[in-house]
Each structure stands twice: as C-alpha cells, then as structure tokens.
Amino acid sequence: MKQIRLRAAAKINLYLEILGVRPDDYHELVMVLQSIDLSDTLTLTSIPGHQIRLICPHPLVPVDRTNLAVRAAELLQQSMGIDRGVEIALKKRIPVAAGLAGGSTDAAAVLAGLNVLWDLGLTQKELRTLGASLGSDVPFCVMGGTALATGRGEVLTPQPPLENLHLVLAKPADLQVSTAWAYRTYRQDHLAPGTVVERSRTNALLAAVASQDPARIAASLHNDLERAVLPAHPEVAHLRERLIEAGALAAMMSGSGPSVFGLARDLDHAGAIHAALAADPHLETFVCTTQPTGVRLEKD
Ligand SMILES: C[C@@](CO)(OP(=O)(O)O)[C@H](O)COP(=O)(O)OP(=O)(O)OC[C@H]1O[C@@H](n2ccc(N)nc2=O)[C@H](O)[C@@H]1O
Ligand SMILES: Nc1ncnc2c1ncn2[C@@H]1O[C@H](COP(=O)(O)OP(=O)(O)O)[C@@H](O)[C@H]1O
C-alpha cells in the first residue's frame, strides 16, 4: 500500500476535575472525554528515503519537528527501527489551541495510519502506550468514543458510546489558549497547600452519559479549568452565556479552552442555537454530534 487517508476526530471534555499536582509536575485528573464529528483529514503517502515531510498551509500549524504528527512518525521510526519515509498532508479543520485536542488527534492518526502503511502489526493498546509519550490526550484520541480518563489523562476506562448527542461548539476566532498556561494558572490560584479538593462528581456524569439523556448530562458537566481561563478571558465567559441565552441546555468550556460547547436536545435544537451565533464574524461556530470513534481509515 502506498497511500492512506484518515479522519482524526476532535474531543470535548464533559468533565474535568483537577485532583492535585503529581511528582512529575503534571496534574492528577479525572475526566470524561468524548469524540465529536469535527475532524482533520490526513493523507499519508510513502516516499523514497527516510524523510518525514509535513504539508499543512494553516498559518497556526508548525510544519517542523514540533508538529505532533511529525513527532508521532519519528517515534514510530525510532521505536520500531523503521527506515522508510512518509509525506503527511494535513487538512486542518479543528481550531488550533482550542481545547479540542487537534494536535493530539493528528498524532493518533499518524500512529494508526503508519501502523497500516508500514505494516507494523501493533495493537491499539501498544499504539496508546506509544501515544502517551507524545501527549496526555493522545491515548484517548487513539481509542476514541467515550472514556473516563485518570492519571494525567492517559489511563482510560472505555464507557458505553454516547450516541447522537448534538451540540454547538463556539470559539472566539482570534483567541488561542496555551494548555500549559491554563494548568499553571489553576495551580497558582487553586492548588495552594491546604486547599481542600472538591469531592468528585464523576459518577453523576457517568450515570447521565449512560442514560443518554441530554438534560441529565447538561446538569452534570464540570470543568475546573474554567476557573483559570474565564477570569483571564471574559469573552469566553460571555460566549458561554450567549449559548445559554440561545437556548442551550447547558454550556461549558472544553479542556483548556477557549472553545465552549452548548448541549442541545436534538439536531433541530442545535441548529436553532447555532443560528443565533453563526452570523457573528468574531466567532468560529460548528454544529457537532458525538461519535464512537477517534481515528477512522477513509475509503477512497
Ligand atoms: C487540558 C486537556 C484536557 O483534555 O486538553 P486540551 O485543552 O489541551 O485539549 C488535556 O489535559 C491536555 O492534554 P495534552 O494537550 O495532551 O497535554 P500534554 O501535551 O501532555 O501537556 C501540555 C501541558 O499541560 C500540562 N498538563 C497536561 C496534562 C496534565 N494532566 N497536567 C498538566 O499539567 C503539562 O504540564 C504540559 O505543560
Ligand atoms: N498537528 C497539530 N495541529 C495543531 N497544532 C499543533 C499540531 N502539532 C503541534 N501543534 C502545536 O500545538 C499547540 C496546541 O494545539 P492543539 O493541539 O490544537 O490545542 P489543544 O492543546 O488546546 O488541544 C498549537 O499552538 C501548535 O503550535
């Protein structure tokens, strides 16, 4: 095989709770992660030699070795002793630095895609373990669907798929938030020695997810990182309010933001919420649906 095409799905966080700081300086988390049908497309083509070449015209996406897609290919070359080259053409649709795991899902797609293109025979579990060395969210992006994530986000317990939950995703067009900054800010302000961490309410959210009832899910959303990001970026708090005013069952920031999602009862309801925001030139908006897969091989 010479070429394959993959779809790499974005994620949202239905739940994100920070339990404390770990000895490795990362944060101990409890999250519920969910794949959505907003995705990048990656085309992987075998090329002579052992170069890894990335093509991506998006102005915010680096095309050098700092790109997570390139790092994923290098990791496979090194760990599997592969002496082959690949060109990665990346069509970016997932907003960058938006709390949607865009880079992580591209890395996951490269791991899964090269496993096929280079005939490596790695299991999904092996790909997840390799992915964890690239970033905390990469293992989830390899697995996709709905999962409880603990540790620094890489310890996954799959959940029954959440089918057909419709939502409106919105972000201020010109705002990017650094994940490292969000955790650092949270830690300075909310994890001082002696802080009592709120008791986990993950079980309520997981029960709501199992019920597939949008209103129950809406009542159990939670994201600790809002406490770091919203005070610094009031436009994100405002956007959340606008989603509520437009009729969303609930609205919350995804991950380290600045994307915010509003839950809808059904697709028509999502369309109506979207219509209230879509004309604003300062926003990027999407109608999305939850999906059971993270990375998917595309048929030609
Ligand atoms: C916040 C979340 C929520 O799903 O997603 P995004 O908003 O980035 O999409 C994740 O925790 C982000 O995962 P990911 O983006 O893969 O993080 P990494 O590359 O491992 O780390 C980026 C930065 O975040 C900090 N970080 C990350 C995970 C964690 N449990 N504790 C941390 O303190 C690290 O210190 C690092 O400086
Ligand atoms: N494949 C990629 N797609 C997007 N950004 C990437 C990629 N590889 C590396 N990056 C870098 O990672 C940063 C975080 O981007 P992204 O993964 O989209 O956000 P988030 O961590 O909020 O989910 C970007 O600012 C960019 O410099």
Question: Who contacts 88 (Cβ-Cβ below 8 Å, separation ≥6)?
Answer: 42, 43, 44, 52, 53, 54, 55, 69, 70, 73, 110
Q: Would you say residue 135 has pLDDT above 80?
A: yes
pTM over 0.90: yes
Q: Compute the distance between CA of residue 294 and CA of residue 298 in angstroms, rounded to an integer.
A: 13
Mean local confidence (pLDDT), 63-72: 98
Tokens linked to 152: 């620094």
Q: Which residue has the higher pLDDT, 295 or 190?
A: 295
Q: Decide whether any atom of ligand 1 lies within 6 Å of the 179 Cβ.
A: yes
CB 79 within 8 A of CB 130: yes
Looking at residue 65, its pLDDT comes to 96
How far apart, in whole angstroms, are the C-alpha atoms of residue 38 and residue 11?
Answer: 8
Tell me if 34 CB under 6 Å of ligand 1.
Answer: no
Residue 193: the pLDDT is: 67
182-221 pLDDT tens trace: 999 999 988 876 665 666 788 999 999 999 999 999 999 9
Q: Where are the beta strands (DSSP E) in 103-187?
A: 146-150, 155-158, 166-172
Q: H-helix or E-strand containing 159? A: none
Q: Is the pLDDT of residue 167 over 70?
A: yes
Q: Which atom of ligand 1 is nearest to 18's Cα?
A: 30
Backbone angles phi, psi at 178, to 5 degrees: -80, 130
Contact predicate 162/32, CB 8 Å: no
What is the per-residue pLDDT across 242-266, written as a single tens digit (0 to 9) for each? 999 999 999 999 999 999 999 999 9
Residue 187 near ligand 1, beta carbon < 6 Å = no
pLDDT > 70? residue 173: yes
User: What average pLDDT does the segment 173-185 reach?
Assistant: 97
Give, for ligand 1, the residue of 26, 179, 185, 261 to mutate: max count of ligand atoms closer than 8 Å to Cβ. Answer: 179
Based on the residue annotation, tell me whether 137 is a catalytic residue of this protein: yes
For residues 32-54, average pLDDT: 97
Per the CB < 8 A criterion, the answer to whether 37 and 7 are in contact is: no
Can you give the pLDDT at residue 191? 84
Is the model more confident about 20 or about 294?
294
Which protein residue's CA is at the shortest distance from atom 19 of ligand 2?
97
Q: Mean pLDDT in the chain?
A: 96
102 is in an annotated binding site: yes
Mean pLDDT computed over 278-292? 97
- The one catalytic residue among 40, 92, 106, 137: 137
Please name the residues in contact with 289: beta carbons below 8 A apart, sequence gap of 6 or more.
Answer: 36, 37, 164, 165, 166, 167, 267
pLDDT at 112 over 90: yes
Q: In the chain, what are the domains?
A: 3-160 (3.30.230.10), 166-289 (3.30.70.890)
Is the N-terminal amide bond of 258 cis, ω within 30° of 0? yes
CA-to-CA distance for 224 and 216, rounded, in angstroms?
19
What whole-number distance in Å separates Cα of residue 245 and Cα of residue 288? 19
From residue 242, give the alpha-carbon distance in Å to each of 43, 227, 236, 239: 37, 18, 10, 5
Residue type for 18, please?
I
Cβ–Cβ < 8 Å for 34, 162: yes
Confidence label for 124 from pLDDT (cuts 50, 70 and 90): very high
pLDDT at 199: 62
- DSSP bridge pairs for 91: 41
Q: Can you read off the two tokens belonging to residue 201?
A: 């309410």
- Contact assessment for residue 110 and residue 53, using Cβ atoms and an 8 Å cutoff: no
Q: Pick the atom of ligand 2 nearest to 257's CA.
A: 22
The Å distance, Cα 231 to ligand 1 centre, comes to 20
Q: Could you report the predicted ipTM of this complex, rounded to two decimals?
A: 0.98
Ligand 2 contact via 56 beta carbon (within 6 Å) = no
Q: What is the pLDDT of residue 140?
A: 98
Q: Is the CB of 258 under 6 A from ligand 2?
A: no
pLDDT of residue 179: 98
Closest to 170 in 3D by CA, of 279, 269, 32: 279
User: Mean of the pLDDT values across residues 133-145?
Assistant: 98
**Within 13 Å of residue 237, how many CA atoms lie on the same side as its CB?**
10
Residue 83 annotated among the catalytic residues of the structure: no
Q: How confident is the model at residue 222 (pLDDT cuts 50, 70, 90)?
A: very high
Write the DSSP symbol of residue 207: H
